[in-house]
Structure 1
Amino acid sequence: MSDHQPDAPKIEFPCENYPIKVLGDAGDELPQLVVEVMERHAPGFDQSRIRVKASRNGTYQSLTVWITATGEPQLKSIHQELIASSVTKMVL
């Protein structure tokens, strides 16, 4: 058997409708953080498309936003800034 891993699918930039999912503590702080970070790195993204889903017990929530991804540096910056917050548990 070969240890060769198939290459990850390549994303062509700019990539419209690129989804970013953020999981974190429930409350107002996470949505505010997500909007601030997205406006900084993907100005003008469509805030009306933000989807928020609460966990079964209401302790956590997930937010999905769609941006126009311009490249790896932008996506890395978004991820680093979001994950640096104590309210954020995971960024996908």
Structure 2
Amino acid sequence: MAELNDGEHGLTFPCEFPIKAMGPATSELTEAVWHIVSRHAPQTSEDRLRTSQSRGGRYVSVTVTITAESRAQLDTIYAELSAHDQVLATL
């Protein structure tokens, strides 16, 4: 597999990349994040998904670590996550 270097962002593809989305602590948010990310990184297994609730329990962060193949793939995932009505922030 050829490695692609994204010099502007310091990434060399493929690489392990954690994608994080935050929003209200609902099962719908977790399911939506998994659906979006796994559609663009179908080789990702569900054991790569982690959730963490806020101290007060109102919010959750959902992290899915993928093997990113390109900057375009990451940009597409983040655009879809940001457009989702339950996603308040992404990292």
Same fold (TM over 0.5): yes
Question: Retained in 2: the 8 A contact 1:22–1:64?
Answer: yes
Larger radius of gyration: 1
* TM-score normalised according to structure 2 size: 0.85
Aligned to 2:13: 13
Alpha-carbon separation, structure 2, partners of 1:49 and 1:72: 20
* TM-score normalised according to structure 1 size: 0.85
Cα RMSD (Å) of the superposition?
1.4
**Ranges in structure 1 where 5+ consecutive residues have no aligned partner:** 1-6
Moved beyond 6 Å, runs of 4+: none
Matched, 1:54 2:22: no
User: Aligned runs of 1:57-76 on 2, under 5 Å?
Assistant: 57-76=56-75
Q: 1:85 to 1:9 in 2, by over 3 A?
A: closer
Question: Retained in 1: the 8 A contact 2:40–2:73?
Answer: yes
- The C-alpha deviation readout for 1:25-81, integer Å capped at 9, x for no partner, is 111111111111112100020211211111111111001111010111100100010
How far off its partner does 1:9 sit? 4.9
Q: 1 or 2, which has the higher strand percentage?
A: 2
